[in-house]
Amino acid sequence: MPVAAPDAIALAATELGELARFDEPLGPFTTYKVGGRADLFVNVVKPADLHRVAAACRSSGLPVLIVGRGSNLLVADRGFGGIAVSLAEMANGIEINRDHSIVRAGSAVLLPVLSRRLASAGLTGFEWAVGVPGSIGGAVRMNAGGHGSDLSESLIDVSVFDLAASADRTLRADQLGLRFRGSDLRATTVVISARLQLAPGDPEAAHRELVKIVAWRRANQPGGQNAGSVFVNPIPHELSAGQLIDEVGLRGVRYGSATVSDKHANFIQADQGGSADDVRALMELVREQVATATGHVLRSEIRLIGFEEPSS
């Protein structure tokens, strides 16, 4: 069942024409593999398609969701009442300028893929990203990071498309409001590509670093249906969310089809065929119990789409 007004869906569909896909399941586009459907879905393959999405948003008033690779996305079981957009087929290129140690990567490029490509090219400073299962676009939006670094360390600027203005823009890194696991980018700002400044280095040494990071991730973090760390560390580099969750004794706790990981307490696993609403409910249970016991109010790293705000 659509969750947006049928008239609005019809208006948007008229603008989108053959691009529109109706009632599209979004779970398969996320690493949680659970959740509801989008009223409309568009797979963007050329810049002109974005102008049509912008026109559809203006005419219908529907919200837009840039899906990306879905590695930090949880869509409520009731779905998303708007237009979901994927750039996977348009923004997937990598251009490396070895003379200046600069790379331009499309927003759909996976971070581990880019990390390995750069290491092979003898460019260093992006090894940390080999274990982060997201895309460049998502990394810009949340200033992704790990192992003592983050995207802001190498980001020069980003090319974006503003759906509200139906226009392209280039934004410098210092215009993005980048902070620990966050930025000021609006939902209507679509990241098309990013330029990164790296440093020349030894490919073999970079490869050894990649192997070490991947081994650490496999030893310390679970696989399966999850979106990585659920909560932002309340005091970066000093106090971790996982430590607080462990202290409260919530490791392994289950709510319906969702479980706090036995391997890492800041990961929540979804059962195959499970419920996004169960994942969200378990997140709230963890947040409330940690706040009550420790006074720390954990902030979500996960983009929560289509959920009602907690009553408390």
Which comes out higher in pLDDT, residue 34 or 182? 34
Which comes out higher in pLDDT, residue 1 or 285? 285
Residue that has been written with the tokens 């995207």 in this structure:
151
> Based on the domain organization, do 265 and 228 belong to the same domain?
yes
Confidence of residue 2 (pLDDT cuts 50, 70, 90): low
**Radius of gyration for the alpha carbons in the chain, expressed in angstroms and rounded:** 20
Q: What is the CATH number of the domain that holds 134?
A: 3.30.465.10
pLDDT recorded at residue 51: 96
> Based on the domain organization, do 212 and 104 belong to the same domain?
yes
Give me the number of domains the chain comprises: 3
Q: What is the CATH number of the domain that holds 251?
A: 3.90.78.10
pLDDT recorded at residue 312: 40
**Per-position b or e across 180-210, b if 16+ CB within 10 A of its CB:** ebebebeebbbbbbbbbbbeebeeeebeebb
> Based on the domain organization, do 113 and 191 belong to the same domain?
yes
User: What value does the mean pLDDT take over residues 3-27?
Assistant: 93
What percent of the chain stands above pLDDT 70? 98
What percent of the chain stands above pLDDT 90? 85
> Based on the domain organization, do 151 and 204 belong to the same domain?
yes
Q: What angle do CA 215, 139, 272 make, to 5 degrees?
A: 65
> Based on the domain organization, do 263 and 194 belong to the same domain?
no
pLDDT recorded at residue 310: 57
Establish if 183 belongs to a structural domain: yes
Q: What is the pLDDT of residues 229-258, one digit of tens each?
A: 999 999 876 889 999 999 999 999 999 999
Q: Which domain holds residue 57?
A: 6-86
Pairing of strands 303-305, 73-75: parallel
Catalytic residues: 181, 229, 301
Q: What is the pLDDT of residues 111-149, one digit of tens each?
A: 999 999 999 999 999 999 998 888 999 999 999 988 889
Establish if 31 belongs to a structural domain: yes
Q: Copy the structure tokens of residue 185.
A: 């980018």
Domain stops at, among 66, 86, 106: 86
> Based on the domain organization, do 22 and 81 belong to the same domain?
yes
User: What value does the mean pLDDT take over residues 159-168?
Assistant: 94
| Distance separating the N- and C-terminal Cα atoms of the chain | 28
In this structure, what DSSP letter does residue 309 have?
P
Domain stops at, among 165, 188, 218: 218
Domain stops at, among 30, 61, 86: 86
pLDDT recorded at residue 88: 87
Establish if 251 belongs to a structural domain: yes
CB 106 within 8 A of CB 196: no
Is pLDDT at 23 greater than 90 in this prediction? yes
Q: What is the CATH number of the domain that holds 65?
A: 3.30.43.10
Integer Cα distance of 259 and 253 in angstroms: 6
> Based on the domain organization, do 231 and 168 belong to the same domain?
no
CB 124 within 8 A of CB 105: no
Which of 68-72, 83-87, 244-248, 306-310 has the weakest average pLDDT?
A: 306-310
User: What value does the mean pLDDT take over residues 49-73?
Assistant: 93
Q: How many residues does the chain have?
A: 312
Is pLDDT at 276 greater than 60 in this prediction? yes
> Based on the domain organization, do 260 and 245 belong to the same domain?
yes
Confidence of residue 266 (pLDDT cuts 50, 70, 90): very high
In this structure, what DSSP letter does residue 148 have?
T
> Based on the domain organization, do 140 and 198 belong to the same domain?
yes
H or E element in which residue 9 lies: helix 6-16
Establish if 159 belongs to a structural domain: yes
Is pLDDT at 1 greater than 60 in this prediction? no
Integer Cα distance of 42 and 159 in angstroms: 20
H or E element in which residue 196 lies: strand 189-197
Is pLDDT at 311 greater than 80 in this prediction? no
CB 79 within 8 A of CB 36: yes
> Based on the domain organization, do 64 and 98 belong to the same domain?
no
H or E element in which residue 82 lies: strand 80-86
Q: What is the pLDDT of residues 81-114, one digit of tens each?
A: 999 999 888 889 999 999 999 999 999 999 999 9
